Chains A and B, each alone.
Chain A
Amino acid sequence: MHIAQATVWARGRSKRVPMRSVILLACASITGCTASAEEVRPPADQIFFPTGAAVSPDDAFLFVASANSELRYDSGSITVMDLGKVDQISNDWTTSQTIPDGCSQDPDHIETLICDETRFIMPNTGARVGNFATDIAVQDFKSGGPLRLIVPTRGDPSVAWIDWDGKKLSCNPSGDNFALCDENHRLAYVHNDPDVGLLPDEPFGAFAGKDFAIVTHLTTGAVTLIDSPPGGNASIADVLTGLFAADPLTGLRGSTGVAGRGDSGIVYVGARSEDRIQTLTVGRPVNSDIAPPYIIPEEYFFLDAVGGTAGGSTDTRGMAFSANGDRMYLINRRPPSLQIYDTSLDAGGAPRNKGIAATDLCREASTLAVMDAGDGDRAYVTCFQDGQLYVVDPRGLASVEDIISVGRGPYAVTAAPTRKKVYVTNFLEDTVAVVDVSPTSPTHDRVVLRIGEPKAP
């Protein structure tokens, strides 16, 4: 008896030959040998080529990933900034023009104060990770316990997992300050076994759920599942490939943006190479303490509401949900647009996933954050090429409300709703721009503080 194979998906799991794993393991070991050289140890109180940024759920801390893109140091880093102190100085500046020692008024933007990052980086809290970190996802276990940072790094490639107990980032049992994450905290192999599989190249975006994280891969289209149970170690549990079609021009596949819809367990992944949004869930075997979790591909939908007659709506980048999960905001580069999807649940409890609005954007938009600072949601979009932060009002058909110059090479943006501020990492000038987004503030949508002296071009 024969059952026809109806599916035409070319989906599969990524596995590589052990020999390659061995070679790369050796390379990683060699790289690791240079890590102990004190002269190339990165400074713990500075940021350098900042990429990823994330705010702790209580809006108390800002985690910043320094990518070390010049390879000046032996590693990248994750530093922790005290947002209370950021608020204090920025508020003193905006309300009374107070300029603390070591700070100065930006000569080109007089509403902006520039302060060295040292005063904001909490001493003895950071950690070192691989080079070319791309993102930070904060895993909130919601049990009063520690947070966990998931940090993809392209250099190794690997994914670092770092616990935050409120005082210190920990990814090395040595307990040393600013320690390099050890091998247990640098995930490079599926099930921590080189024979099972290797983390695909170019880890890019990350999203953390309550007991897992999803990492996308820019040049392969693969999606990696990190099993990260509360109180337990993180490990690579599954790698799914073939979710996205290859770009017909370049042949490349790429998974890019990733975001989760609240606590529903549904994760949305965008693509660099086609106009598809794939949703995923994570399956956990029942009554088995040995079977690892796995990625379950769910429904997908196409970004055909925008740009249909001009060549489709491809190259998705940042994705973010509104606080209640009813709206998904998504950046596309072709055509450059911010698209808004109705992800509210229908009567059956499934997200509707219908395009409802869009607006034109800058050309090289990278990431976005969504926050309600008191006047409804706004999407904040970084424009790497133009050095701008677009503020999009999603009401009606959506419209660009403000365009803020934030610095050179803005990449990541993250928001602190209770502080009514967003924070933008400026990759090309080693700064973090602090933007006041309070709708009732005289400095609404202005960069009020630049953390770090802008590096010369």
Chain B
Amino acid sequence: MKRLASLCLLMIAACSDTTPTGTNLLNLDRPVDIAFACFGGLRITNGQPATVDQAVVTSAQPTTSCDKRSEEPVDTGSNGSNGPPPGPPTPPGQEQLHDAQHPTAPIIPDTAWYAFILQSESGTVAIATWLTEPSTKFMGGEVTVQDANPLTPGQNSISVGENPVAIGTDVTGCKEVIANAGSCDMSILDVTSALTAGQTAIVDRLDVTTPNGGKLRSKPAAMQMQPPGGTIGVTCPAGATGLAYVAYPSCHAVAAIDTATGVVQQAITFDASGVPTIVPDGNISCPDECGGEPITAGTRPVTLSLLFDARVDREVLAIGADNSNVVSIVELDPNTSLPLSVPTRIALEDPNSNLGVTSLAVSPQIGMGGNQSMINDDNATGGQSQFVYAVATDNTIRVADILTLNRECDTQIDPRYLHDETSIKKLSCLPLGDPTLPRRAGARGPGIELIGDAIPTSVAITQVKEVAGDLRPKDSPTRLIGYFAFATAANGATYVINIDNDDKADVVDPEDPIGTQIPLDIAHQLRDSVLTRGLLATELDPSDPSGKKTLPICDTLGPDPDATTGPAGGARSTDQPGLTLPTGTLAAEKVVVLPSIRQVTCTGADEPNGKPVAETEFAAPVGPPPPGQVNIRDQVFPDLRGLRDDETWTFTWEGSLSQDDPDTAIDGPAVRESQMTVDSFGAHIVDQSKPFCDAGVEKYDIVQLRGCDPSLGDADCALGYTCFVHPQSKVTGLGACMLKDEADRLSNACKPFLTTLRRYTVGKSATGQLDLLPRKHVLRTSPVDGCTDDAQCQTLANYAARLTSSLNPVDDKTAADPHMWSCRIDPDRAPIAGTGKRCIEACSTDTDCDDGTVCDAGTCMESVVPPQACVNAAQRYELRAGEAFAVVGTKSGYVHPIIADAGGSCVKDPAAKPNQIGRFTLNPPACDPTADPGTGALPGGGFEPNPCFETIDETEYQPNWANLAGGSCTLGSPGTNLVMRPSDAIKFRNRGMTLDIVDPTYPGDAVCIGDRGANLGRIPTVPPGFQIVFRQTAGFSPLIVQITPAYPVKAVIGPTQSVWVIDEGDYLSTSITTPSTSGKVFRFEGQSVNTISVLQ
């Protein structure tokens, strides 16, 4: 036995030296793992009843001893009886017998918990301690780091080995077992020596050998210990006790090692195809990695999870490999912990054949379902389940049932398809590949996705019991009752995942559809952090003597979305959606002619006659619907998880496909830069980085060249180029970068290019190239069903001209449009319905055309094919939706189904979900009345179009023109009427919303604004850049534990089901009050996740 010198001593909890370690003293050095031990006074009973003369020692002891002492006190004296006062439970035989009658009986010193924190780079173990108390007593800050060597300055640790990767406590609690990757062996740390004052910590090295005598010299990657056992009251044995399961990736094996001898008892090996086999005699052969022997390809087990579930007497070991999608479940003998069989191999979905698993956690057997605020494993309505959670290399957390189904569960089913599902059993592990249960659009796979680009690093599962007298509201995000997973991520966040939330409904409650949405209810969903999800627009009924009855109200926008207490309530818009008009395109009085989000009637105590509210607003009806109506907000926001926490949505007519600013990178730069080439086939935008399919560019979209801004001098241009503005250009602020030496020379040759708007149509979209077509100038009010003749176009041009006038038509003297408009087919734009023709500006010379357009072969053009020399500089440009609204969220970005085909052309992904879309035109195909209103699914299969055209009731205030028939625009009394009218509308579904946009076109007014009497047809009035805007709040916001690790690598479940997050990362502080650290350890309780101890 090799005894390491110069390491030592520690106080015990009974000692007075309990000075807490201040948070500004740095003790840890990149921790990677943690194990727990119980140490303190122990009566040596050797399993016999306690007597006063038995010896008492201060010693390590089974962790079950501290488990018992950490239980809630039991009040054995009830209601005035003379029973003993409540106190901490004591393990049998360890009662304090010293009293007045037995003054000579030895006093048993206090016992405390200890954490052994493994530090990989330094090869050391740091020690922390805290009292044995129930988790409900935990207030944060109780855990303190101890000094292993008081004679050396600073808080010292114990050297244990080279590049240790895992630590675990043996069965008896007397030894810490460490797996060393640097030396391909194990270290055994004697707990008593490490924690006893005045003693030197004893660390023994243990070679791993096979029964036939060979040394196993492979590098370990993970280790799991046989569950704790041992008898409390027995002296610690000389060596370690029990098995350690160690994963050896380069040996393609997991070995069950007797920690007393280092001999492999049995092993699980993986063959070339990844199939596991139990090696009963333990004789496996591994390359001597530490000796430089070559390794072979094969399955690389790198993560283990071992769980003994005493309730059902089942013990399993899960094995994951970083180069295999298969999780192997090994049944272990609950008595010996040796392998019995490998009955289950869960093949996780792996379409690209490159999936691996890097972290695992096995849950206990759980009784699924129940909302009675108590754990109900034995009588759960959803039956029994047991899960394995696997952090996979696709950056999701995969889930599989390993009890009865033995398959992966799909956690990404679109909630629209689960709204009416009431089988808790089914919801506990939804199947993969069921065509009736498709995944939500954009899901990376069946696994749980963290928010954004978070990379999960570890997962741990814990049971959280109810807290007696818990005063937190039942829907409080931090009130956990049931089973939960905690997932750490590389971005420092620790997420909470509901497995079986026994505090909440397990299915959608028709009485509370907003508060019981599927992502809030079912298993394997990130836990939400938003308060009072089911909040309704109501107020207390003053006539109700009970003070409980409520009445609906309308004049409310819901809780303040910017409240310091955080968001509350269900998803909604924070206000009535707004309309943004480019300057000079429409008189403010005529916004009625524009499309808008549908309004519905809200009738409430404050609005007994009703008022219109947008269907996205808080006051839109929810809850049990009146007959003939629907839950509006439940229908508008059908997938909470499909909504980001808070973002602004813009529907922009011919809007940019990206709204990225310098602080966001969702869709790529809003203004891109590429080269432009011109050849005999026309003009092209060419980009080596091939961004166009990813950007969602479609044929007939718009490329708006942005040139350079002359107000910035030449700053927009490369060195040697100048920002040139043609003297005859009437387009404000649009220069072109041209070689300084050539600008003047090319002025004439480039004039048509330099004087146009430079707005092109995409003739063909490919990954790295856009073919540009010069764009004809089309009348904004050209009918969506096509024009019939030039006269109609001229009429509509005049109508367009009058849109900027604030006067009623009867009073409007706006001059007729002076330009010529011709009703023709434009082959360079998307085909339209009806006649297929558009009103196109005609000309004989440039002067016939609007500013920014030039006359080319009788047509006014917004752009031309320029000579190459005009465009040799890099071209700045925007990509815009052609004749469509671009739907862009500030966090979701522009969602589209465009991919590249085999030839590199941008095409619609045939496998895209119907709601994977981010644009709509003014005249989409008709909706199908037989379609499911929630999903759009058709009875015979397939889906109705999305977007689609419908007729829907719109509620609005309309002017009460008193004498319309008489041709005057005098308002009657009242000045407006609340009207519900059938309206043309576009139903638009995306991942998180189903919206109705009413009035996509307008028939024109005859006499007064809003009278709709002109009968012009379905006339679009939207100018380019017109926006419908609303801020959507209270989308999904995950509960994140309030800790701030730099790089958390592991979550571990500790005593009393506490959660420990190991932060390996350095934190380089820029504050004089916060020290830089080399890793931290955080502890919190499931019962109070924001009560935290920080070790650093």
Contacts and interface: CB of A to CB of B under 8 A. Distances in A.
B694 A375 contact: no
Contacts of B300: 395
Contact of A348 (B730, B900, B1068): B900
Interface in A399-430: 400, 402-403
A1 B302 contact: no
B1065 A309 contact: no
Nearest to B665: A301
A443 B868 CA distance: 60
B733 interface: yes
| Interchain residue pairs A-B with the least CB separation, the first 10 | A294-B718, A309-B492, A308-B491, A396-B322, A12-B715, A348-B693, A285-B872, A348-B900, A349-B690, A335-B1046
A440 to B, nearest CB: 4
Contacts of A298: 669, 672-673, 687-689, 691
B591 interface: no
Interface of B: 30, 120-121, 163, 291-295, 300, 302, 322-323, 356, 358-359, 391, 393, 395, 452-455, 457, 490-493, 583, 656, 661-662, 665, 668-675, 677-678, 687-694, 704, 706, 709, 712, 714-721, 730-734, 739, 741-742, 757, 767-768, 850-852, 868-869, 872-874, 876, 878, 899-900, 904, 906, 1025, 1040, 1043-1047, 1049, 1064-1068, 1070, 1079
Contacts of A276: 665
Interface stretch (A3-11, A18-26, A149-157, A162-170): A3-11
Given A238-B718, A299-B668, A395-B323, A439 B294 contact: yes
16 contacts: A3-B757, A6-B671, A8-B662, A12-B712, A14-B719, A196-B720, A238-B720, A266-B688, A301-B665, A308-B492, A308-B493, A337-B1065, A345-B690, A348-B906, A360-B1066, A439-B292
Contacts of B872: 285-286, 288, 291
Q: Binding site of B, secondary structure by majority: helix, strand, loop or mixed?
A: loop
Nearest to B1079: A360
Given A12-B712, A296-B674, A354-B395, 8 more contacts: A3-B732, A6-B878, A11-B715, A191-B719, A296-B673, A297-B673, A305-B490, A335-B1046
Interface residues of A, number: 89
B302 to A, nearest CB: 6
A54 B659 CA distance: 41
A17 interface: no
Nearest to A248: B1070
B716 A12 contact: yes
B665 to A, nearest CB: 5
A301 B699 CA distance: 27
B294 A360 contact: no
Contact of B694 (A294, A301, A348): A348
Nearest to A244: B662
A110 interface: no
A190 interface: yes
A104 B744 CA distance: 71
A265 interface: yes
A296 B675 contact: yes
Contacts of B709: 5
Interface in A216-272: 237-239, 245, 249, 264-266
B491 A13 contact: no
B1046 A239 contact: no
Contact of A333 (B30, B391, B1068): B1068
B677 A397 contact: no
A296 B1047 contact: no
A264 B294 contact: no
A296 B583 CA distance: 32
Contacts of B739: 288, 290-291
Contacts of A334: 1068
Given A1-B730, A7-B671, A335 B121 contact: no
A299 B452 CA distance: 18
Contact of B731 (A3, A14, A265, A375): A3
A126 interface: no
B693 A347 contact: yes
B778 to A, nearest CB: 16
A302 interface: yes
B673 A13 contact: no
B894 to A, nearest CB: 14
A440 B323 CA distance: 21
Residue of A1, A11, A279 with highest tally of chain B CB at under 10 A: A1
A7 B708 CA distance: 11
A336 interface: yes
Given A1-B851, A6-B878, A299-B668, A281 B688 contact: yes
Nearest to A261: B689
A355 interface: yes
A378 to B, nearest CB: 14
A295 B689 CA distance: 13
Interface string A340-369: 000001111111001111111101000000
A373 B163 CA distance: 22
A284 B391 CA distance: 45
A243 B470 CA distance: 53
Nearest to A14: B719
A46 to B, nearest CB: 34
A46 B719 CA distance: 40
Contacts of A285: 872-873
Nearest to B453: A305
B1064 A360 contact: yes
A428 B237 CA distance: 52
Given A3-B732, A7-B670, A290-B741, A309 B689 contact: no
A393 to B, nearest CB: 10
Contacts of B665: 276, 299-302
B689 A281 contact: yes
B732 A347 contact: no
Contacts of B1047: 306-307, 335, 337, 358-360
B670 A191 contact: no
A34 interface: no
B731 A1 contact: yes
A263 to B, nearest CB: 11
Given A9-B662, A13-B718, A363-B1068, A441 B292 contact: yes
A19 B586 CA distance: 53
Contacts of A183: none
